[in-house]
A and B are shown apart, each in its own frame.
Chain A
């Protein structure tokens, strides 16, 4: 009795296994060639599995890895673009890629990637979004020229005009052809990372709905200071504090918008993977944070882990040095000036008074001279190189 049950069970299991294998092979045979074509042009997934859908941790674009949050990503658009600004040198082309993640019949999130095909040798500067002053997330992680690393973001709405970049029009065509819907408003979180040779700019567009976009932050407190996130996480951010982070929060203690809290926390968690990917060192087992909208609302604050800053303030060090140098120069300059004046005048108290008068006058004059010089010959602003955009600020 027992054996006959075993036998019939085994037979059923065998039939099921064989038929599902046949189905799987057939399905692969039908679909893989179509995928492989798209894949061949577009770089490869970091693991050996060749498909147009990535469930893996990263996609490689122009030899740089870009981390993908968990999920099934499909490539919908790909194109080569060239910059209008030839500053960086011969970069070949800028490879641009659009990845979609579906949720029901709608695009749940998408990723836009730009990366240079050929290395240059003078760095890639920054982009407009990392130096913007209107309400937006900006976190500068590294600004030691020629290296640059910044996170940026905010609410945007997608472009559907004919002048949008080609690879994006291609993605829009795919979306239309499949009858999918593409919401209008998104919460964008981007990273720009570059060294002397290469650049990657990646933007993660997340559903705006689960995160309230209402109550935009006041204009003045829009740039989120790195030290501000310390008020949630407990430790002050150091590295992230660019020069434009200073100030505002004391004067405007108003609560920042929820999306700003969410995006800044997410950027800090994603940052490590972006950096690892830029170095080509993302492993398959790497933990890539899920997109902000997929987190339950309660976890937003709990996961806030801003980095503690380790660098001492370079401006302070420079100031210290200047003061010590100024003092040592003043000792030399005043004693030599006093000696010369005494030799000419022959009266020590007159010479000393004259020395005090000239020291004070030149001190005051120097400030004016320095300011005039800086105004006439200002430091040139950082090179800004922007890539094509598929969405505009809302």
Chain B
């Protein structure tokens, strides 16, 4: 099998050349039909005029290892008045695989502003993340573009004289199962994230505010990417702009109330059923399985067990030594010391656990720059 990997690696640049021009046949992104469909998956996009500025086929990940099948990478630009206000990088498979496409490294990182692991087992992956990104742009010509698709996009920008800042705010998601995957990262020009004028350029709010908005927006985006992966986005679906006007939870409940009102209007819900369901949206119902795994239950079990151990140690020590003082001393000290040791032992296992470490593969594709 090793020689096959080598072959794929050797052929990858050729594939890129062959596909660079002819890839557009497999999709429809005229800009007016939303959501865009790319290789059998719906791509949710914020409003605006998106252009496909680069695409390339790759057979390796960013470390040069072969991936389970050919992967298309696509770059979309949203250009307004000569400036790129946002761009999207997409990686997705052309044909189904059998053993999954791995997780993105960002899914398992703990140092990003937000990384929600979500689902990550046996080839099923669904996670989202957000971080500022320093992209390689025409303003930084000393670095080569990180991927052929991004190189094409930069060439396009140079040709049209579009300006791109170096710092972007990125939020992305990876969704995959054993057969298919999509990795999509939305990059926003910080100057375009003002709430007053959606998408237009203005002085950016503070970095902390921007990141908080992005973290909120990430939840909406992740749900949309997940639905799009399963082709369940409604016709005409448009992602909101992450300008602070769309709060994750609020948007969802607003959407759902609207959808319920529509069903009521169509006569598909009775008024009584409508009231009941609106009640479900507005009042969070507790997770039916939550309390069994709650931390206080684990703590109660541990404390209860310590009591049982202390009692048995006390009885046995007294039987062996015949001295209440010695037995009490042994019991007291060993309960305290062993309790402390046990706590430390648990913490060590939690931190360096070789068993729960996720051994499912990580497959990353070239990013447009460094994640700050």
Contact = CB atoms under 8 A, between A and B. Distances in A.
Interface of A: 63-64, 80, 82, 86-87, 89-93, 117-119, 121-122, 144, 147, 195-198, 278-281, 310-311, 317, 320-321, 324-325, 328-329, 332-333, 336-337, 340-341, 344-345, 350, 353-354, 357-358, 361-362, 365-366, 369, 373, 377, 379-380, 383
Contact of A373 (B231, B301, B320, B330): B301
11 contacts: A80-B263, A82-B269, A92-B277, A196-B226, A197-B226, A281-B40, A324-B355, A357-B320, A358-B317, A369-B305, A380-B288
A278 B320 CA distance: 67
Contacts of B259: 92, 117-118
Interface string B89-105: 00000000001000000
B109 interface: no
A79 to B, nearest CB: 9
Nearest to B257: A90
A50 to B, nearest CB: 17
Given A90-B278, A279-B230, 12 more contacts: A92-B260, A144-B119, A144-B121, A144-B124, A279-B177, A281-B231, A324-B355, A345-B321, A354-B320, A354-B321, A380-B288, A380-B292
Interface residues of B, number: 60
Given A89-B280, A344-B326, A336 B231 contact: no
A48 to B, nearest CB: 15
Contact of A329 (B256, B263, B345): B345
B277 A340 contact: no
B367 interface: no
B345 A332 contact: yes
Contacts of A121: 252
A358 B316 contact: yes
Nearest to A65: B231
Nearest to B332: A340
B297 A377 contact: yes
Interface of B: 40, 99, 119, 121-122, 124, 177, 180, 223, 226-227, 229-232, 234, 252, 256, 259-260, 263, 268-269, 273, 276-278, 280-281, 285, 287-289, 292, 297, 301, 304-305, 308-309, 312-313, 316-317, 320-321, 326, 329-330, 333-334, 337-338, 341-342, 345, 349, 353, 355-356
Nearest to B328: A344
A117 B124 contact: no
Contacts of B309: 362, 365
Contacts of B337: 336, 340
Contacts of A383: 288-289
B137 to A, nearest CB: 36
Contacts of B276: 82, 86
Q: Which 8 A-B pairs have the closest CB atoms?
A: A280-B231, A321-B355, A90-B280, A90-B277, A80-B268, A63-B232, A354-B320, A279-B230
B276 to A, nearest CB: 7
B326 A64 contact: no
Given A332-B341, A357-B320, A380-B288, A90 B330 contact: no
B227 A197 contact: yes
B320 A350 contact: yes
A333 B260 contact: no
B370 to A, nearest CB: 33
Given A144-B124, A280-B231, A310 B99 contact: yes
A350 B276 CA distance: 69
Nearest to B42: A280
Given A90-B256, A90-B278, A90-B281, A329 B342 contact: yes
A328 B317 CA distance: 24
Given A90-B260, A333-B338, A380-B292, A344 B329 contact: yes
Contacts of B292: 377, 379-380
A362 B330 CA distance: 15
Given A278-B230, A354-B320, A361 B312 contact: yes
Contacts of B333: 340, 344
Contacts of B317: 341, 354, 358
Given A92-B260, A281-B231, A320 B355 contact: yes
Contacts of B338: 333, 336-337
Give the interface centre of A93, A198, A350 by most chain B CB atoms within 10 Å: A93
Contacts of A86: 276-277, 280, 285
B336 to A, nearest CB: 10
A126 B333 CA distance: 49
A84 B109 CA distance: 42
A118 B312 contact: no
A380 B288 CA distance: 8
B260 A365 contact: no
Given A147-B119, A361-B312, A377-B292, A340 B273 contact: no
Given A86-B280, A380-B288, A333 B312 contact: no
B40 A361 contact: no
B316 A63 contact: no
A105 to B, nearest CB: 34
Contacts of A196: 226
Contact of A122 (B177, B260, B287): B287
B273 A82 contact: yes
A147 B259 CA distance: 24
Nearest to A88: B280
Nearest to B230: A279
A333 B355 contact: no
B260 to A, nearest CB: 6
B106 to A, nearest CB: 20
B288 A87 contact: yes
Given A333-B338, A362-B309, A279 B226 contact: no
Contact of B229 (A144, A279, A320, A332): A279
Contacts of B263: 80, 92-93, 117-118
Contact of B308 (A90, A332, A353, A365): A365
A366 B312 CA distance: 11
Given A340-B333, A380-B292, A358 B277 contact: no
B277 A345 contact: no
A74 to B, nearest CB: 22
A95 to B, nearest CB: 8
A93 B289 contact: no
Nearest to B287: A122
Contacts of A310: 99
Nearest to A361: B312
Nearest to B305: A369
Contacts of B234: 63
Nearest to A347: B321
Contact of A280 (B232, B285, B353): B232
Given A80-B268, A92-B260, A365-B308, A340 B330 contact: yes
